[in-house]
């Protein structure tokens, strides 16, 4: 009986000392280059450079296992997300930038690897919301190549920016 008791205590101690690590990774980008010919158009499409960059994003994410692709409902963000989503056989999930990183989004993305396509102001704001610190400023209007990477692992949050050309 004592053997079983000690075996039970040893096993329980071993299991309780092993913490399950759950990692969530967010890749956040701004939409690719948009058509600027009509200054009154609030929902422009991507221009030819933007369409090419969207394909390059898909190439960049080729070896990254994404679980989901999120985008705002604007033409330029959807068109930026489309090649990557199609290459991963994923549907684009629309998000409301006014409700970014709410409890529903957190629950739906916990433990996953996610691409989020936004805008010059929403992308850094989204990163700041995830990490809980106002670390990043709005992206310059000509910057379509910054990639924000945020990793959450238990209570640890890290973020970085890479330039992808």
- pLDDT tier at 160, thresholds 50, 70, 90: very high
* Conformational region of residue 132, where left means phi above 0, alpha means psi within -120 to 50, and beta covers everything else: left
Encode pLDDT of 71-123 as tens digits: 999 999 999 999 999 999 999 999 999 999 999 999 999 999 999 999 999 99
Question: What pTM did the predictor assign?
Answer: 0.88
Give me the domains of the chain, ranges plus CATH numbers: 22-163 (3.40.50.1240)
H or E, element range at 152:
strand 146-153
Encode pLDDT of 138-148 as tens digits: 999 999 999 99
Of the listed ranges 10-14, 39-43, 44-48, 161-165, the one predicted with least confidence: 10-14
Q: Which of 117, 120, 118 is nearest to 143 (CA)?
A: 120
Indicate the average pLDDT of the chain: 91
pLDDT at 152 over 90: yes
Encode pLDDT of 54-73 as tens digits: 999 999 999 999 999 999 99
User: Distance (Å, rounded) from C-alpha 140 to C-alpha 120?
Assistant: 7
């Amino acid at each position: 009986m004592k053997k079983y008791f000690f075996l039970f205590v040893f096993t329980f101690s071993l299991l309780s000392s092993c913490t399950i690590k759950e990692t969530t990774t967010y890749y956040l980008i701004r939409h690719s280059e948009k058509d600027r010919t009509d200054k009154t158009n609030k929902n422009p499409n991507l221009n030819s450079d933007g369409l090419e960059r969207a394909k390059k994003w898909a190439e960049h994410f080729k070896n990254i296992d994404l679980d989901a692709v999120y985008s705002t409902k604007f033409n330029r963000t959807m068109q930026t997300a489309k090649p990557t989503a199609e290459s991963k056989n994923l549907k684009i999930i629309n998000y409301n930038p006014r409700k970014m990183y709410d409890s529903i989004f957190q629950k739906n993305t916990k433990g996953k690897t996610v691409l989020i396509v936004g805008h010059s102001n929403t992308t850094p704001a989204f990163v700041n919301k995830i990490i809980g610190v106002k670390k990043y400023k709005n992206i310059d209007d000509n910057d379509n190549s910054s990639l924000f990477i945020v990793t959450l692992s238990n209570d640890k949050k890290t973020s970085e920016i890479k330039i992808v050309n």
